[in-house]
Amino acid sequence: MIRFEGVCKSFGGARAVNEVTLDVARGSLCALVGTSGSGKSTLLRLANRLLEADEGSIRFDGADVTNIPPVELRRRMGYVIQSVGLFPHWTVERNVATVPRLLGWSPARIGERVAELLDLVGLPPGRHARRYPDELSGGQQQRVGVARALAGEPELLLMDEPFGAVDPPTRRGLQDSLMAIQKRTGTTILLVTHDVEEAIRLSGTLAVLDQGRLLQTGTPAQVLTQPATDAVARFFGGPLLGLNRLKALRVGDRAQAAASPDEREPIDMDATLEAALARMVAEGCSRLPVRRLADGTRGVLDLADLVRP
Ligand SMILES: Nc1ncnc2c1ncn2[C@@H]1O[C@H](COP(=O)(O)OP(=O)(O)O)[C@@H](O)[C@H]1O
Ligand SMILES: [Mg+2]
């Protein structure tokens, strides 16, 4: 969907993005992670041409972005940033309708789309459509920002620390909504975050940046089990990397066939190993029954399965 090839960008002689090659597949969610100043926001701004690359190329659906007029490009790429930047004197409804209005959609189509999106982001239109941004909580404003970015049916959603400013429980709710939206719409998402948990939880692919360079790409399980460099290992927890690995691996990755029946409530195959460990600790046990292995039989997860390589 979008491919960065040997992309470089400098500010006053300092390389913010250094020879980055990254392919974000259609329909995937790629989390771009790295410490502050590693070039994440710059890379997103290069994608929608808020900035122009010094070297290399960026192809969007096969076409070089420098051949796509910025206005068209930004219509085809939604962009969500931390401070949502809603128009304060416009209602929620009107904010979400910004791009469809620019595109000249009929009022009926706009109305339908706005209602659908507000439902999708968990803001029932009956209650929220006519409110103004300052009548909403930070989390609700962020939801409106996501709805607005999706309104023009973008092919790609660029999100720059979209949930960075909301409290952790609200953030989890927003993450759940985003996962549901992606499942439903199949939109390709490139998400910048420095929140390790968020990246592991949401992404199909992790891309780790450090000082402008891309250090590693892979699934969360791959990156957390085989970090390519010390910097990657440090980013994912350093001495606590092993704990974060439990967030990236699933019960199904480690469960074995059960030798004897166990009547307790089984844990699901797609639960994280972290959730499994939490249950073991809470229940004071070292094994859990697992619901259905691939062949339909019951399985078991032992504490030892969590630590084996
Ligand atoms: N407009 C700019 N002018 C000068 N330097 C910039 C500009 N934008 C970013 N930088 C610098 O580029 C580097 C990468 O910044 P950024 O992409 O914002 O990092 P991140 O989003 O990973 O925190 C930083 O050193 C930052 O100071
Ligand atoms: Mg940034």
CA 53 / ligand 1 centre spacing (Å) = 13
pLDDT at site 243: 95
- Of residues 308 and 36, more confidently modeled: 36
Most confident of 163-172, 245-254, 295-304: 245-254
Residue 42 C-alpha to ligand 1 middle, in angstroms? Answer: 6
Q: Where are the alpha helices (DSSP H) in 92-195?
A: 92-96, 98-102, 107-120, 125-128, 138-150, 168-185
Determine contact, residues 155/76, Cβ cutoff 8 Å: yes
Report CA Rg, the chain.
22
Cβ of residue 175 lying under 6 Å from some atom of ligand 1: no
pLDDT band (50, 70, 90) for residue 84: low
Length of the chain measured in residues? 309
CATH node for 2-240: 3.40.50.300
Domain boundaries in the chain?
Answer: 2-240, 249-307
CA separation for the pair 251, 253 (Å, rounded): 5
- Does the beta carbon of 6 sit less than 6 angstroms from any atom of ligand 1? no
DSSP state letter for 163: T
The burial of 287, by beta-carbon neighbours within 10 Å (0-12 exposed, 13-18 middle, 19 or more buried), is given as middle
**Taking a C-beta distance cutoff of 8 angstroms, is the pair 214, 208 a contact?**
yes
Smallest CA-to-CA distance from 199 within 64, 35, 74, 1 is with 35
Instruction: For residue range 207-266, list pLDDT tens digits in order.
Output: 999 999 999 999 999 999 999 999 999 999 999 999 999 999 999 999 998 888 888 999
Please choose from 7, 36, 38, 42 the residue to mutate so as to test ligand 1's pocket, defined by most ligand atoms within 8 A of CB: 42
Residue 40 has pLDDT above 90, yes or no: yes
DSSP symbols for 165-183? TS-HHHHHHHHHHHHHHHH
Q: Can you tell me which atom of ligand 1 is nearest the CA of 43? A: 17
Atom from ligand 1 closest to the CA of residue 209? 22
Asked if the domains 2-240 and 249-307 are classified in one and the same CATH topology, the answer is: no
Residue 2 has what pLDDT? 97
CA 14 to centroid of ligand 1, rounded, Å: 10
| Confidence tier at 102 by pLDDT (50, 70, 90) | confident
SS3 for 151? coil
Is a pLDDT exceeding 70 seen at residue 295? yes
Answer whether residue 42 shows pLDDT above 80: yes
Is 37 a pocket residue for ligand 1 (Cβ < 6 Å)? Answer: yes
Average pLDDT of every residue of the chain: 92
Atom of ligand 1 nearest to the CA of 192: 21
For the CA atoms of 11, 13, 17, 18, the dihedral, rounded to the nearest 10 degrees, stands at 170
Predicted TM-score (pTM) of this structure:
0.91
| DSSP secondary structure, 35-70, as one string | STTSSHHHHHHHHTTSS--SEEEEEETTEEGGGS-H
Instruction: Give CATH for domain 249-307.
Output: 3.10.580.10
Ligand 1 pocket, 36 CB below 6 A?
yes
